[in-house]
Amino acid sequence: MANSHLKLPIQYLRGIGPKKANILKKIGIQTVKDALYYFPSHYEDRRNKKDIFEIKPGEFVSITGNIVQITEIKTKTNLSIIEVVVSDGTGYLKAKWFNQNYLKKIFRQKQKIKLFGRVQLDHWSSSLEILNPDYELEPFSFSENYDILPIYRLTEGITQKQLQSIILSALSYALPFIEEYLPTEIRQRTKLPLLNEALKSIHFPPSNTEIRDLNEKTTIYHKRVSFDELFLLQLGIISLKFGRTSQKGISFNPEGKLLKAFLQKLPFSLTKAQQRVIKEILSDMKKPTPMNRLLQGDVGSGKTVVAVAAMLSAVECGYQAALMAPTEILAEQHYLNILSLLKGLPINIVIHTSTHNKYINLISSGVANIIIGTHALIEENLKFYRLGLVVIDEQHRFGVIQRAMLRKKGFNPDTLIMTATPIPRTLALTVYGDLDYSLIDEMPKGRVPVLTEIIEPENKKIIYKIIQEEINSGGQVYVVYPLIEESENLDLKSATQGYEGLRRIFPNYRVGLLHGKMPPKQREQIMKQFRSGEIQILVCTTVVEVGVDVPNATLMIITHAERFGLAQLHQLRGRVGRGQRPSKCILLPYKLTEEAKLRLKAIVNYNDGFKIAEEDMKIRGPGEIFGVKQSGIPDLKVADLLRDQSLLEIAKTEAEFLLRKDISFKEYPKLKEAFEEFWADRMEIFMTA
């Protein structure tokens, strides 16, 4: 694209000026290019042109005729109606506009007019009429040339006709300057139109275009612009991957003594999936290039054991391994869990968070072999002795740049990223396209699906009965309250009130309270008491969402369930059903929106994380899920990861093929320019990776 012309501020286009430019700014149009990429939300089909004598009630029609009569009618309720009778020589048609008095000054007898709208029967006179139709007076600027009209999202101070006119002048001005940057061979293989043709036709489609395809954004023109976004996105993600595979890393080649000792002392056998994934990771670690692998497994599938196997291999080769978790409580859980898993082995494990920071010297001197912490691990004052492996838990909460910063703490260390958030394949290709992929697709033997049901607040007493039955039969109970940052105090209060209430209702049981504001030592103590069975009911905020493992906990009650996302509900439910006993999850919603109803229905119907993730994408759209916005990838303005799955696959293949041939875009200077513009705010990723 010839940038200077497209970067022209919109106010300098003929007929716009500063006042209109200020209004356009509200909808994100500041330059000519912004106008070109401000696409219609839907389209109006005006191809059904008819003579008045052949129209029928219920039809959407386009009529051209002359005004033969103009009347203003005032109703008893002071409503003003402007009524115009139009004739085209074959019959008469009434058009009525309500409370639009200014039309009296616009309409004139014998004026030629075009009307577009739905025809209906006037029950008083049995004649045909159109209410509040769109109209155009001669000269017909749009409808003379365009049978399908773009309809845009508006803001106060601008009409549909004005915006259509502005976009048309932006197109007329810019089309000669739009440079084609997609390589010819890719365009030919994908059978996509030229960019200038695509942009023009998205705004003002040819008259033979299917209206349904236009409204669903699946025309060849929409596909071209979606493909561009996905292709530029994949070029960036695959460049990151290629850049890393050309780096020199650490080749880990342990004898495997530590790993063998660890596996022998485990009180359970690994699943086939765990064995396969450990093999994939260890073979990656042997390579002389840095490993960059995503480990995905549903809640409770045993990812921690796999991560520990990788850590032990690094430690046996004389390197340190660091595990970064998104919250302090999760870091503490990992620390206690790994400490107990490795009991008896000659390994020094320390924790480093903003409150646990006593071991800086042990980390920098190399005495600490395994370091578990939060983002405090990437702070400047912390130096590692010899960092060889980085494990990142719940990656969707960390941006690409944070990942890169932790890697810089060592000399191109291997990276293993774990997530229990099920990611549909299309999203994995997008957000994690720079990673190799391992999947634990098997649950440990004996894991029973958790029965999930919704109980309305008015039936709350049933829940107390269920709690009593569960504890009497030897189980333990979580009662979870939401925690939303903006109203943290309010939520803590509700958790505290819930805790007090349950203590009153169940005076014979031990009730505990756990939340993120407690001092770490107190949290550790409470979790220890819950694990040992000393506490029967644990009232908590979402600190238990990930990683907490209490096999005897068999009942999860989620209060204000409507305030949780689907992935969060699935994570929380995964805290129960970890032992042999059948488990239950009860959702207690208070204020149900339509979207919340869909979420709760999905969690009741499905236990499979992947199915839940796909439902989530349908309900919320992929952009809101798994922190795509925080993941470091540019926003997608046109492409839709659900709708454009097959296009994404093609974009990935084409990007890989091009980069293998020409990673620095020497042959494609225009594509390089478009690539740098697309990734503009995030080019630092390419520098730090």
The CATH number given to whatever domain includes residue 579 is 3.40.50.300
Q: Which band of pLDDT confidence, cut at 50, 70 and 90, is reported for residue 619?
A: confident
Examine the domain organization and report whether 105 and 136 are in the same domain: yes
The tally of domains found in the chain comes to 4
With residue 282 as reference, give the H or E element that holds it. helix 272-286
- The string of DSSP codes covering 559-594 is ETGGGS-HHHHHHHHTTS--SSS--EEEEE-SS--H
Residue among 110, 48, 55 at smallest CA distance from 85: 110
- Whether the CA torsion 215, 221, 225, 231 is positive or negative: it is positive
Examine the domain organization and report whether 167 and 57 are in the same domain: no
In a domain, 614, yes or no: no
pLDDT at 630 over 50: no
In sequence order, which residues have a C-beta less than 8 Å from that of residue 647 and are 6 or more positions away?
Answer: 223, 226, 227, 230, 639
Amino acid (one-letter) located at 415: T
In a domain, 611, yes or no: no
The model's pLDDT over 152-171, given as tens digits with 9 standing for 90+, comes to: 999 888 888 899 999 999 99
Burial class (CB in 10 A: 0-12, 13-18, 19+), 114: buried
Residue among 317, 305, 611 at smallest CA distance from 449: 611
b/e 338-350 (16+ beta carbons within 10 angstroms → b): beebbeeeebbbb
62 contacts 115 by C-beta, under 8 angstroms: yes
Beta strand 584-588 with 128-131 is unpaired
Examine the domain organization and report whether 226 and 205 are in the same domain: no
In a domain, 617, yes or no: no
Q: State how far the Cα of 644 lies from the Cα of 621, in Å rounded to an integer.
A: 12
Q: State how far the Cα of 406 lies from the Cα of 395, in Å rounded to an integer.
A: 13
Examine the domain organization and report whether 437 and 483 are in the same domain: no
The model's pLDDT over 501-523, given as tens digits with 9 standing for 90+, comes to: 999 999 999 999 988 778 878 88
Q: Which of 231-245, 281-295, 472-486, 538-552 has the highest mean pLDDT?
A: 281-295
Domain boundary among 146, 167, 194: 146
Tally the residues of the chain: 689
Examine the domain organization and report whether 588 and 654 are in the same domain: no
Question: What pLDDT score was predicted for residue 627?
Answer: 45
Q: State how far the Cα of 325 lies from the Cα of 367, in Å rounded to an integer.
A: 21
Q: Which band of pLDDT confidence, cut at 50, 70 and 90, is reported for residue 55?
A: very high
Q: State how far the Cα of 184 lies from the Cα of 50, in Å rounded to an integer.
A: 43
Domain boundary among 146, 179, 206: 146
pLDDT at 316 over 90: yes
Domain containing residue 578 = 451-606
Examine the domain organization and report whether 265 and 366 are in the same domain: yes
Question: What pLDDT score was predicted for residue 564?
Answer: 85
Question: What pLDDT score was predicted for residue 486?
Answer: 45
How confident is the model over 459-466, as a mean pLDDT?
Answer: 93
Residue among 438, 437, 432 at smallest CA distance from 633: 432
Amino acid (one-letter) located at 360: I
Return the percentage of the chain with pLDDT > 70, whole number. 90
Examine the domain organization and report whether 426 and 504 are in the same domain: no
- The string of DSSP codes covering 360-375 is HHHHHHT--SEEEESG
Examine the domain organization and report whether 74 and 139 are in the same domain: yes
In a domain, 631, yes or no: no
Q: Which band of pLDDT confidence, cut at 50, 70 and 90, is reported for residue 489?
A: low
Strand, helix or coil at 121?
Answer: strand
Q: Which band of pLDDT confidence, cut at 50, 70 and 90, is reported for residue 626?
A: very low
Which CATH number belongs to the domain containing residue 73 in this structure? 2.40.50.140
How confident is the model over 451-463, as a mean pLDDT?
Answer: 92
Which two tokens mark 133?
Answer: 């139709």
- List 435's β-bridge partners, or say none: none
In a domain, 420, yes or no: yes
Q: Which band of pLDDT confidence, cut at 50, 70 and 90, is reported for residue 381?
A: confident
In order of 75, 113, 373, 638, the CA distances from 399 in angstroms are 62, 57, 16, 23
In a domain, 562, yes or no: yes
479 contacts 537 by C-beta, under 8 angstroms: yes
Strand, helix or coil at 556?
Answer: strand
**What is the CB neighbour count within 10 angstroms for residue 115?**
20
Examine the domain organization and report whether 137 and 84 are in the same domain: yes
Structure pTM? 0.69
Q: Which of 161-165, 309-313, 597-601 has the highest mean pLDDT?
A: 309-313
Residue among 38, 444, 471 at smallest CA distance from 271: 444
In a domain, 300, yes or no: yes
pLDDT at 488 over 70: no
143 contacts 62 by C-beta, under 8 angstroms: yes
Residue among 115, 121, 104, 120 at smallest CA distance from 69: 104
Task: Tell me phi and psi for residue 92, to 5 degrees.
Answer: -120, 145
Strand, helix or coil at 206?
Answer: coil
pLDDT, mean over the chain: 87
Examine the domain organization and report whether 461 and 544 are in the same domain: yes
Examine the domain organization and report whether 212 and 247 are in the same domain: no
pLDDT at 94 over 50: yes
R_g (Cα) of the chain, nearest Å: 32
Choose between 218 and 396: higher pLDDT: 218
Q: State how far the Cα of 126 lies from the Cα of 123, in Å rounded to an integer.
A: 5
The model's pLDDT over 286-310, given as tens digits with 9 standing for 90+, comes to: 999 999 898 988 877 889 999 999 9
How confident is the model over 574-603, as a mean pLDDT?
Answer: 88
Q: Which band of pLDDT confidence, cut at 50, 70 and 90, is reported for residue 1?
A: very low
Question: What pLDDT score was predicted for residue 258?
Answer: 96
Instruction: Give me the long-range contacts of 399-405 (CB less than 8 A, separation at least 24).
Output: 399/630, 399/631, 399/632, 400/240, 400/631, 400/632, 400/633, 400/682, 400/685, 400/689, 401/632, 401/684, 401/685, 401/688, 402/375, 402/378, 404/685, 404/688, 404/689, 405/378, 405/688
pLDDT at 401 over 80: no
Burial class (CB in 10 A: 0-12, 13-18, 19+), 445: exposed
Domain boundary among 185, 200, 216: 216
In a domain, 589, yes or no: yes
How confident is the model over 60-79, as a mean pLDDT?
Answer: 90
Question: What pLDDT score was predicted for residue 628?
Answer: 47
Question: What pLDDT score was predicted for residue 616?
Answer: 80
In sequence order, which residues have a C-beta less than 8 Å from that of residue 445 and are 6 or more positions away?
Answer: 271
Examine the domain organization and report whether 187 and 129 are in the same domain: no
Q: Which of 200-204, 541-545, 570-574 has the highest mean pLDDT?
A: 200-204
